[in-house]
């Protein structure tokens, strides 16, 4: 029997106010949406779970697609797409575990917090690849950490306190000092990610000139990788607390992909010193790059980045050039 997409009555942890930042600027098998899935509350935002067969291992999995408020009311309008790649702690089986991807990022803001973000948001889940046997924060995680959707409105945000000690590391001087990537990361599911984007573009009213990519931590590394491998696909990329190796920069620069990179000045997990070689290389090659360091924040600077408005406004200003 053919599987169908299903709308989600999803499982809110308010996180913090929009703040002024201390910053340093340098720069398968898929199934279509059923006709009935938007029947109730045509103008309301919808969260769908779309099934697919992974090209990695043949497993049956799902990913989230968020349709923004107004999607069902404006049949002639096309919408920008924002793909978000989560961090290491949100990996899973693409089934019940998919709910862990609701904890952070644009989908948390749009669906859980009910912010009116005007994007079709696509959120896949990275395979576990044995990480639950290697990393305690995955092995010991609880579904209690998965937030419930708010009944109404965006709550007042709590002040985000500075976290951790200031990182005093110096920019690395040689490329050989920078790891090229992290084990069992998003590069392993590259074909799945491209197939998801293609499927969403075919089935929904997508503005193909405004497809954006962002990711945090492990997902930040994945964003760099996917931008380098498929620079023609993305109108802009925003890696958050994930550095990019200098070897990835040439395709990004050649295709003039705008990049906004974020790091935490107190981050001891992904220190800001690792970012400079790649960012400087991209700038030297003529790339369009912004590098923002939130000097008072640690690894979870993504809370502030995605909770704010600047990133979303910047993304919406970026577009691929249209053919004459």
User: Facing residues of 122 across strands?
Assistant: 65, 83
- pLDDT (tens, 9 = 90+) of the chain, 324 residues, equals 344 555 654 433 333 333 333 343 333 443 333 333 433 456 899 999 999 999 999 999 999 999 999 999 989 999 999 999 999 999 999 999 999 999 999 999 999 999 999 999 999 999 999 999 999 999 999 999 999 999 887 777 665 555 555 444 555 555 566 667 778 999 999 999 999 999 999 999 999 999 999 999 999 999 999 999 999 999 999 999 999 999 999 999 999 999 999 999 999 999 999 999 999 999 999 999 999 999 999 999 999 999 999 999 999 999 998 644
How high is the pLDDT of residue 167? 45
Torsion angle in degrees (nearest 10) through CA of 10, 88, 243, 261: 10
Number of helices (H), then strands (E), in the chain: 8, 9
pTM of the model: 0.84
Helices (H), the chain: 106-107, 136-139, 190-203, 218-229, 249-254, 275-284, 302-307, 310-316
Query: Nearest to residue 124, comparing CAs of 105, 143, 146, 150?
Result: 105
How high is the pLDDT of residue 178? 65
Contact predicate 242/222, CB 8 Å: yes
From CA 303, how far away is CA 272, in angstroms rounded? Answer: 17
Domains by residue range for the chain, with CATH? 6-316 (3.40.50.1820)
How high is the pLDDT of residue 153? 73
Contact predicate 32/203, CB 8 Å: yes
How high is the pLDDT of residue 40? 44
How high is the pLDDT of residue 74? 87
How high is the pLDDT of residue 263? 96
Q: Tokens in use for 147?
A: 């937030």
């Amino acid at each position: 029997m053919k599987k169908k997409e299903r709308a989600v009555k999803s499982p809110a942890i308010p996180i913090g106010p929009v703040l002024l930042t201390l910053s340093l600027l340098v720069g398968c098998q898929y199934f279509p949406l059923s006709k009935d899935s938007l029947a109730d509350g045509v103008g309301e935002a919808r969260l769908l779970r779309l099934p697919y067969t992974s090209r990695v291992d043949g497993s049956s999995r799902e990913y989230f697609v968020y349709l923004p408020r107004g999607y069902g009311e404006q049949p002639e309008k096309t919408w920008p797409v924002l793909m978000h790649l989560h961090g290491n702690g949100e990996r899973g089986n693409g089934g019940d575990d998919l709910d862990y991807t609701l904890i952070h990022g644009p989908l948390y803001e749009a669906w859980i917090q009910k912010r009116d973000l005007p994007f079709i948001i696509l959120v896949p889940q990275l395979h576990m690849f044995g990480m639950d046997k290697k990393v305690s924060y995955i092995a010991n995680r609880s579904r209690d950490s998965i937030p419930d959707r708010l009944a109404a409105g965006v709550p007042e945000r709590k002040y985000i306190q500075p976290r951790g000690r200031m990182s005093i590391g110096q920019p690395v001087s040689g490329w050989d000092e920078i790891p090229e990537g992290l084990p069992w990361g998003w590069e392993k599911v590259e074909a799945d990610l491209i197939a998801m984007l293609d499927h969403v573009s075919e089935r929904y009213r997508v503005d193909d000139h405004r497809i954006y990519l962002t990711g945090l931590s492990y997902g930040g590394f994945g964003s760099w990788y996917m931008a380098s491998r498929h620079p023609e696909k993305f109108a802009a990329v925003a890696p958050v607390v994930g550095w990019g190796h200098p070897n990835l920069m040439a395709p990004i620069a050649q295709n003039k992909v705008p990049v906004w990179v974020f790091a935490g000045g107190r981050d001891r997990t992904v220190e800001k010193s690792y970012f400079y070689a790649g960012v400087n290389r991209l700038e030297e090659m003529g790339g369009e790059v912004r590098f923002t360091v939130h000097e008072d924040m640690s690894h979870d600077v993504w809370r502030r980045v995605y909770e704010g408005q600047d990133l979303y406004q910047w993304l919406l200003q970026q577009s691929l050039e249209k053919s004459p």
